[in-house]
Structure 1
């Protein structure tokens, strides 16, 4: 029997090294040589297991952003629509979104995207998908909610959640953190009340 392929193991090793490099040296300072050295490999190994620099950056983006999508899906699975919406707010403003080293990587990639149209499109696709998934959760929990308003509220929740996460390390009072979650809930309840009021009108 042949030896099992080490490709997936090597790929994870490279992406972990790439994340650590970008968190420490930024995107521009994370050369393939530096990443290869951190991974204990050669540059040719990087190209073999992951690809060229664009492919490496794409893979790194997936490496850091996918766990957030997976965690959000896990938080919503097997819940009725209204409970999904509450779980969504808990997730967006809960410990799952706490600051960690991956945030430094995400921020470096977003910053790099300002000068890289291809990367900008890649990152936009992910956040646009997140916006659509949140909007779908809103529509399923709020009868009568239209697509445009669910997307608007979803975008507001994404901005609030990521802004909150970015500022979380600063010594703001605990009331600020609780207040963001409460405000998100109020926005959802205001939409629910408005839709219910419209449905009740003759």
Structure 2
């Protein structure tokens, strides 16, 4: 397979080409031939460095979704549990979630998962992990909050944040983003009040 550093470089090159292809042509239109051409390689090179089509799609999903996890972890790192909630809201409704080409790839993969049970399970695995991590952040800051309740709020935040990101290209007033963030803050304040914590009105930052 060659030197690991070269293999890693070529794999990254393939995934970058695959992301560009899916963003432009969709998942169905991103054949291995098209990806190979964009990467400046042959189909055999694609298989060599990434694998078959299923393995390529799995690797592409990791390629586009992992940065979101990494940036969220960085936003919450080295903070006390009660400081993580406002930081979480800032992250989910801040510039880190701005639209970019990878969002087109993510949306194409999710659309493709409607007809692909294997891919659907792969994507669900990532989003359920995100749901759990957000729920854990909520419970750490609000000890009285139970698992089911924290998961419900985590799911709501994911829907709100990703739905807002999806609609961002449309000409809604700029106040919509601030308004969505304010609603998330209100939800957390209500949750804190329900469990005897002192609501933090300054969570919007």
Same structural fold, with TM-score higher than 0.5 when normalized by the shorter chain: yes
Aligned match of 1:58:
58
Aligned match of 2:78:
78
Aligned match of 1:88:
88
Pick closer, same or farther for the CA change 1:175–1:5 going to 2, 3 Å.
closer
Aligned match of 1:164:
164
Aligned match of 2:36:
36
Q: What is the alpha-carbon distance in structure 1 between the residues aligned to residue 110 and residue 91 of structure 2?
A: 22
Pick closer, same or farther for the CA change 1:89–1:4 going to 2, 3 Å.
closer
CA drift at 1:143: 2.1
Tell whether 2:178 aligns with 1:183.
Answer: no
TM-score relative to the length of structure 1: 0.95
Tell whether 2:147 aligns with 1:143.
Answer: no
**How well do the aligned residues superpose, as a CA RMSD in angstroms?**
1.2
CA drift at 1:3: 6.3
CA drift at 1:173: 1.0
Q: What is the alpha-carbon distance in structure 2 between the residues aligned to residue 29 and residue 18 of structure 1?
A: 11
Q: Structure 1: where are the runs of 5+ without partners?
A: 198-202
1:34-84 deviation per Cα after TM superposition (whole angstroms, max 9, x unaligned): 000000000000000000000000000000000000000000000001111
Aligned match of 1:14:
14
Pick closer, same or farther for the CA change 1:124–1:190 going to 2, 3 Å.
same
1:106-127 deviation per Cα after TM superposition (whole angstroms, max 9, x unaligned): 0000000000000000000000
Q: What is the alpha-carbon distance in structure 2 between the residues aligned to residue 81 and residue 40 of structure 1?
A: 47
Pick closer, same or farther for the CA change 1:187–1:5 going to 2, 3 Å.
closer
Q: What is the alpha-carbon distance in structure 2 between the residues aligned to residue 10 and residue 72 of structure 1?
A: 27
Q: Structure 2: where are the runs of 5+ without partners?
A: 198-205
CA drift at 1:165: 0.4
Q: What is the alpha-carbon distance in structure 1 between the residues aligned to residue 17 and residue 115 of structure 2?
A: 23
CA drift at 1:5: 4.1
Aligned match of 1:120:
120
Q: What is the alpha-carbon distance in structure 1 between the residues aligned to residue 132 and residue 25 of structure 2?
A: 33
